[in-house]
Amino acid sequence: MILCDIGNSTFHFQTSGGTFKVGVKDSIEKIFTQDKKIYFVSVNQKASQKLKNNYPNSVDLSPFIQFKTDYQGMGIDRQLICKYTKNGIIIDFGSAITVDIMKKGIHLGGFILPGFRNYQKIYPNISKKLKFKFDTDINLDKMPMKTDDAINYSILSSIILPIKNVYAQYALPLYFTGEDSKKILHFFESIPYKYKKNLVFNSMKKVMKENRC
């Protein structure tokens, strides 16, 4: 079985041999034989078409994902990772960082932040003098005294504090997914959390099982 989570910047594949990523602008025609059936979800229409052009047997799982929410414009990837969480705050680190609240099986809403790589682009675009080395090992209880620390302090605070505020408001367990999330887990040692490496793929498999795909 081949699964693919298509984001804004990557094709994220899972096969029996593990997971790997390919940029959406990179060639994908020789990764598998053309007759392979790839089950996918996508927030990137252009990349979806690219996958289907190279692998005509590919199956879009979006029509099988039934998720009730009053949130308008919620991406299919967010719907998927929330669908099987009854109670929790789900934080997905990708090109963007999404935070969604599920309580008693009801989606209460969420918010979106830039992903680490996009944060890293912001400051040098303001000024060349603001080029910096990204570092998640910084003390947020101490006011920075140099530019690199000041930028990292701002980036990490803008991500971590809203998540902690949501936890304080709802007192629900935190579920982190996405490789980049592991870089900031040490800031949540006093809060109940779990890291779920393949949350999207595991949810895709549940959808496929339910719909006998």
- Tell me the pLDDT tens digit for each residue of 31-65: 999 999 999 999 999 999 999 999 999 999 999 99
Alpha-helical (H) ranges within the chain are: 45-54, 76-83, 116-126, 147-170, 199-210
pLDDT at 213: 87
How many domains, the chain? 2
pLDDT at 51: 98
Measuring CA to CA, which residue among 107, 92, 112, 115 is closest to residue 200? 92
- Measured CA to CA in angstroms, residue 41 lies from 2, 90, 145, 209, 210 at distances of 12, 18, 44, 15, 16
Domain boundary among 41, 60, 79: 60
Asked if residue 94 and residue 51 are part of one domain, the reply reads: no
Asked if residue 72 and residue 55 are part of one domain, the reply reads: no
Own/partner pairs, 10-18, CB within 8 angstroms, 24+ separation: 10/95, 11/47, 11/51, 12/200, 13/38, 14/198, 14/201
- Domain boundaries, position 49: 2-60
**pLDDT 10s digits, 125-177:** 999 999 999 999 999 999 999 999 999 999 999 999 999 999 999 999 999 99
pLDDT at 66: 93
Domain boundary among 60, 85, 107: 60
pLDDT at 180: 94
Asked if residue 72 and residue 54 are part of one domain, the reply reads: no
**43 domain residue, yes or no:** yes
pLDDT at 190: 92
Q: What's the pLDDT band for 73 if we cut at 50, 70, 90?
A: very high
Three-class SS state of 126: helix
Asked if residue 138 and residue 100 are part of one domain, the reply reads: yes
pLDDT at 49: 97
User: How far apart are alpha carbons 85 and 69 in whole angstroms?
Assistant: 13
User: How far apart are alpha carbons 91 and 21 in whole angstroms?
Assistant: 20
Q: At a CB cut-off of 8 Å and minimum separation 6, what does 89 contact? A: 99, 100, 101, 102, 163, 166, 167, 170, 172, 173, 174, 175
**128 domain residue, yes or no:** yes
**213 domain residue, yes or no:** no
Mean pLDDT of the chain: 96
User: Using an 8 Å Cβ cutoff, are 159 and 113 in contact?
Assistant: yes
Which residue in the list 5, 77, 92, 100 is annotated as catalytic? Answer: 77
Asked if residue 202 and residue 133 are part of one domain, the reply reads: yes
**Model-level pTM?**
0.92
Does 149 participate in catalysis according to the annotation?
Answer: no
pLDDT at 58: 97
